[in-house]
Chain A
Amino acid sequence: MKTVKSKKISNPADIITVSSNALNIAKKIGFSETASYSISIAVSELASNIHKYAKNGYIHLNIIEGKNTNGLEVVAIDNGPGIKNIQDAMKDNYSTSDGLGIGLPGVKRLMDEFEIKSEPKKGTLITTRKWL
């Protein structure tokens, strides 16, 4: 695993920066146009959540090696309020703000692997991967 980008998320401009970084990296390592765009939207959703709910946190972009192929791993970490009910949060159209509530379930659909750990008052850690 090689971390190619670690970005602190504390304002809206950071969300745009890190999603375009993800798009550029994905294209460079051989993802298709659609797959690259999917990854960048996933990053945008995770970074927006950090900004919206935890105020700040980090996004790490890692190039990973699998058995047969390489991939891109996106790790989103914050020390924010955490998610009380993960099952609800993963449902379409569930939102505690005025959002559409499709961010988290959407990221899961866009990527190949998705793991979420969250503890109220401690924070949230989301790891998601897409393989070439």
Chain B
Amino acid sequence: MDTKKQKDFQKSSNYARSLIEASLDPLVTISADGKIMDVNEATVRVTGVPREKLIGTDFSNYFTDPEKAKDGYRQVFKDGKVQDYELEIQNVNGDLTPVSYNASVYYDENGEVAGIFAAARDISDLKQVERALSEAITPAMKVWDGILMLPLVGNVDSKRAQIVMETMLTSVKENQIKVAILDVMGVPIIDSAVAGYLVKVIKATKLMGCESIISGISPAVAQTMVNLGLDIGDVTSTSSMENALQMAFSFLELEVIHK
């Protein structure tokens, strides 16, 4: 290249770089073996990792679900692109950012695949709305004669606990419920405050002559509750909804039989 051409090239590549840096979306290029080749400032911000520490490391490292991230870039190499591929970026500070990726392969001057160019769009707002919606509705379903099911999704604060209490007591009264199943699988944190609310709801329900079963307590949650010192006393709890239903049937002296 002569000097003029070289200057022009330098200018246009500086210009391209500044465009990439100006993007608020995290942008990244990935090599065939899944390593990060280049990133922009937005990627540095969302991961909390400096540029020089990102480059050369596994792309999948920075997601809550590394396997899904790997599947994503493998798919790009296979099909040439992916669209609206959802992942969650994990910052070193523990913050999670839900993102939607659009990615495609790009080529070198010989027409060979050089790697992947991937752009992430922050979809936190969208997810926030989805979450708010699912927290706003606390559905109570009568699943059998005398059996109520109440799946709790999202965080339980005192206001929410109040709503659950009212929903539960109203449907117990209106539908002559004898057993209520409170499913807490979708509640991310069960600390002493949340447990306190649950116990209150269950006691009130009991006063109306209705037994409660808590389902959706995973082994990790159960063990932590015991270590914390939570004594949910005579409250029946179980890991699966299936078990809870079985218990409810046997409490009502019902039997499920094969025909």
A69 within 8 A of B: no
A37 to B196, CA, bound (A): 18
Q: A34-B219, A48-B191 are in contact. Are A41 and B228 (CB under 8 A)?
A: yes
Q: A4-B92, A5-B93, A12-B157 are in contact. Are A102 and B227 (CB under 8 A)?
A: no
Interface size, chain A (Cβ < 8 Å) = 34
Q: How far is the CB of B16 from chain A (nearest CB, A)?
A: 34
Contact between A37 and B192, CB atoms less than 8 A apart: no
Q: Which residues of B contact A44 (CB under 8 A)?
A: 189, 191, 193
Contact between A24 and B94, CB atoms less than 8 A apart: yes
Nearest residue (CB) in A for B188 is A20
Contact between A106 and B227, CB atoms less than 8 A apart: yes
Q: Which residues of A contact B224 (CB under 8 A)?
A: 34, 37-38, 41, 110
B102 within 8 A of A: no
Contact between A105 and B155, CB atoms less than 8 A apart: no
A4 to B220, CA, bound (A): 24
Contact among B90, B93, B157, B189 for A40, CB-based, below 8 A: B189
B123 within 8 A of A: no
Contact between A37 and B221, CB atoms less than 8 A apart: yes
A61 to B93, CA, bound (A): 8
Q: How far is the CB of A32 from chain B (nearest CB, A)?
A: 8
Contact among A20, A28, A41, A92 for B191, CB-based, below 8 A: A41
Nearest residue (CB) in A for B196 is A100
Q: Which residues of A contact B196 (CB under 8 A)?
A: 99-100
Interface residues of A in 89-123 (CB under 8 A from B): 92, 99-100, 102-103, 105-107, 109-110
A102 to B196, CA, bound (A): 11
A20 to B131, CA, bound (A): 15
A37 to B224, CA, bound (A): 7
Interface residues of B in 16-67 (CB under 8 A from A): 64
Nearest residue (CB) in B for A36 is B220
Of the candidates A5, A36, A37, the one having the most CB atoms from chain B within 10 angstroms of its own CB is A37
Contact among A21, A40, A109 for B95, CB-based, below 8 A: A21
A120 to B192, CA, bound (A): 25
Q: Which residues of B contact A110 (CB under 8 A)?
A: 224, 227-228
Contact between A106 and B193, CB atoms less than 8 A apart: no
Q: How far is the CB of A108 from chain B (nearest CB, A)?
A: 10
Q: A34-B220, A106-B227 are in contact. Are A5 and B155 (CB under 8 A)?
A: no
Nearest residue (CB) in A for B154 is A16
Q: How far is the CB of A64 from chain B (nearest CB, A)?
A: 15
B96 within 8 A of A: yes
Q: Which residues of B contact A32 (CB under 8 A)?
A: 220
Contact among B96, B192, B219 for A45, CB-based, below 8 A: B192
A67 to B138, CA, bound (A): 49
Contact string, A56-86, partner B, CB cutoff 8 A, digits 1/0? 0000010000000000000000000000000
Contact between A102 and B93, CB atoms less than 8 A apart: no
A22 within 8 A of B: yes
Nearest residue (CB) in B for A19 is B189
Q: Which residues of B contact A12 (CB under 8 A)?
A: 157
Sample of 10 A–B contacts (CB below 8 Å) = A24-B90, A25-B92, A25-B93, A33-B218, A34-B224, A45-B191, A99-B196, A102-B229, A106-B229, A107-B228
By Cβ-Cβ distance, the 4 closest A-B pairs, closest first, are A21-B94, A106-B228, A44-B191, A5-B93
